[in-house]
Structure 1
Amino acid sequence: VTRAGMVWAAVASALVVLIVLIAFILQNQEYVQVKFFGLEGSVPLGVALFIAAVGGGVLVAIAGAARIIQLRLAAHRVRRQAGPGTRTR
């Protein structure tokens, strides 16, 4: 399996997910009342659920990025304490 093959498979998978997502949004066009921190409005159900999913994904990405930064800082501290002549992974 080549890198180009993996990229092609990832792009094809993303396109399938995108098509399914578009179909979901188009099939859920009924307007719903949405209230959030004092704001109120009416949006299609599919769009409201999509926005909620993207918001959840952003929160997960932020938490993951914070954890990666934390682990990199810890690894940097370990390398610094090990000294210049010591090799660590």
Structure 2
Amino acid sequence: MARPFEEPMGTGPHVPVGDPVSSDNPSSSPGAHDARPGVPPEVARGKGIRHTRTGATWTGLVIGTLVLVLLLIFILQNLDGVVLELFAWEFTVPLGVTLLLAAIAGAVIMALVGSIRILQIRRAANRQRELAS
């Protein structure tokens, strides 16, 4: 669920500039920030938001970009041509590209097998649900 106000984890509640924090200021008492309008209580208490989909997406994009850069470096360092034979065809392809194509083929095979297994489990769960009702 989206929250109207998000603070980074580990930071305390936001104190506006010009608000001195002193013992004679009533807003500096421990429970005073809980009553701020528009701020969820867990944020006002300094707990913050631990995990969001946006944060996970950003992390995935950064990691994916780093993997792509490493993959590009690998391919550029392995440009020696190798001969591939498939049935009657013969190809000369750079070694890095050949290994990339082999990895993609393995990922596709793994995804197909995983999809078939997911379909089997889904059918079994549907059958179980029908028997239970």
Tell whether the structures are fold-level matches, with TM greater than 0.5: yes
CA deviation map 1:39-59 (0-9, x unaligned):
211000001110010000000
Once residues 68 and 9 of structure 1 are traced to their aligned partners in structure 2, the CA distance between those partners, rounded to angstroms, is 27
- Residue 74 of structure 1 aligns to which amino acid in structure 2? A
Task: Give the aligned residue type for 2:67.
Answer: V
Q: Report the counterpart of residue 57 of structure 2 in structure 1.
A: 7
Partner of 1:75: 125
Separation (CA, whole Å) in 1 of partners of 2:106 and 2:87: 17
CA distance in 2, matches of 1:26, 1:35: 23
Q: 1:47 aligns with which of 92, 97, 119?
A: 97
Q: Residue 57 of structure 1 aligns with which residue?
A: 107
SS of residue paired to 2:105: helix
Which structure has the greater CA radius of gyration? 2
2:64 partner amino acid: A
Residue 31 of structure 1 and its aligned partner are, at CA, apart by 0.4
Aligned residues: 83
Partner amino acid, structure 2, of 1:26: L
**Matching residue within 53, 73, 76 for 1:26:** 76
Alpha-carbon deviations, 1:5-54, whole Å to 9, x = none?
11100000000000000111111000001112232110000011100100
- TM-score, length-normalised on structure 2? 0.61
Question: Identity over aligned residues, as a percent?
Answer: 43
Secondary structure of 2:84's partner? strand
